[in-house]
């Protein structure tokens, strides 16, 4: 699978893309490509944004700049990029990311468009298949939302995580009926008088399974 992220701040992804599970995905043949809108702007002075028509605060990322960046990355008309992949605008106005949407987005190549300032010119709707938000609050830009989306989607790729059981049993997966995962404990068995439930130390696997299932139900 190929992931493309369009941003004015590619360096914001340096730490994230160096993480072990991303490198593991790359080793499996997946690709992560960052494109800086500014590197492809058709405007002079590396301009990428402009004042909003109708007035108001802030600046808006220009649609001609977004098109030029898409065309530079894919070598086809910007409107055609969505013909063979999901193209997502990250915006607080979008569909909220959840486990189901992450699974959907893992189904093929993916483009993430990050906005800054007041966002991207509304005509970006001609270029995208989806508008995605990571929650009911406003961030200063799409980069953190793009990383959250990449992270949730990358975990869905077959073989991307060394212990696949740890994905199936994760919180919010349909296998858990959308419920939260059971609680985890590790050593020490007792700390400041706070004890690990006895059953988990019993070595009785059937009892442990029952206890965990019960915890999931309670949550």
> What letter does residue 128 receive in the DSSP assignment?
-
What count of residues does the chain have? Answer: 219
Q: Which of 59, 141, 181, 215 binds ligand 6GU (CB under 6 A)?
A: 141
Q: Which residue has the tokens 């975990």?
A: 155
Q: What angle do CA 151, 153, 159 make, to 5 degrees?
A: 95
Site string for ligand 6GU, 65-104 (x = CB under 6 A): -------------------------xxx------------
Instruction: Give the separation between CA 32 and CA 189, rounded to whole angstroms.
Output: 42
Q: How far is the CB of 137 from ligand 6GU (least distance, A)?
A: 5
Query: Per CB under 6 A, which of residues 2..41 are in contact with ligand 6GU?
Result: none
Q: Is 133 in the site for ligand 6GU (CB under 6 A)?
A: yes
Residue 87's SS3 state is strand
Decide: is 58 part of the binding site for ligand 6GU (CB under 6 A).
no
Nearest distance in Å: CB 114, ligand 6GU:
8
139 is an interface residue for ligand 6GU by CB under 6 A: yes
Instruction: Measure Cα distances from 130 to 86, 93, 122, 184, 211 in Å.
Output: 7, 11, 13, 36, 40
Give the range of 53-61, 137-145, 150-158, 168-176 binding ligand 6GU by CB under 6 A.
137-145
**Interatomic CA distance for residues 152 and 134, integer angstroms:** 11
Q: What are phi and psi of 120, to 5 degrees?
A: -100, 145
| 44, 53, 55, 138: which one binds ligand 6GU (CB under 6 A) | 138
Q: Which is nearer to ligand 6GU, 138 or 206 (CB)?
A: 138
What is the SS3 assignment for 177? coil
Task: Choose, by CB under 6 A, the member of 1, 48, 127, 134 that binds ligand 6GU.
Answer: 134
Q: Which span (49-57, 141-149, 154-162, 203-211) binds ligand 6GU, by CB under 6 A?
A: 141-149
């Amino acid at each position: 699978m190929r992931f493309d992220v369009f941003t004015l701040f590619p360096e914001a992804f340096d730490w994230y893309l160096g993480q072990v599970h991303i490198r593991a995905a790359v080793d499996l043949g997946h690709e992560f490509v960052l494109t800086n809108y500014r590197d492809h702007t058709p405007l002079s002075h590396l301009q990428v944004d402009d004042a909003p028509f109708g007035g108001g605060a802030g600046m808006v990322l220009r649609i001609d700049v977004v098109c030029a960046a898409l065309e530079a990355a894919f070598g086809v008309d910007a409107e055609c990029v969505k013909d063979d992949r999901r193209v997502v605008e990250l915006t607080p106005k979008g569909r909220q990311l959840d486990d189901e949407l992450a699974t959907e987005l893992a189904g093929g190549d993916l483009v993430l468009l990050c906005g800054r300032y007041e966002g991207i010119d509304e005509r970006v709707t001609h270029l995208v298949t989806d508008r995605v938000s990571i929650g009911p609050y406003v961030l200063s830009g799409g980069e953190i939302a793009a990383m959250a989306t990449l992270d949730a989607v990358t975990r869905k790729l077959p073989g991307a995580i060394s212990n696949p059981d740890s994905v199936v049993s994760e919180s919010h997966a349909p296998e858990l009926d959308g419920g939260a995962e059971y609680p985890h404990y590790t050593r020490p068995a007792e700390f400041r008088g706070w004890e690990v439930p006895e059953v988990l130390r019993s070595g009785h696997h059937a009892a442990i399974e029952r206890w965990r299932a019960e915890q999931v139900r309670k949550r």
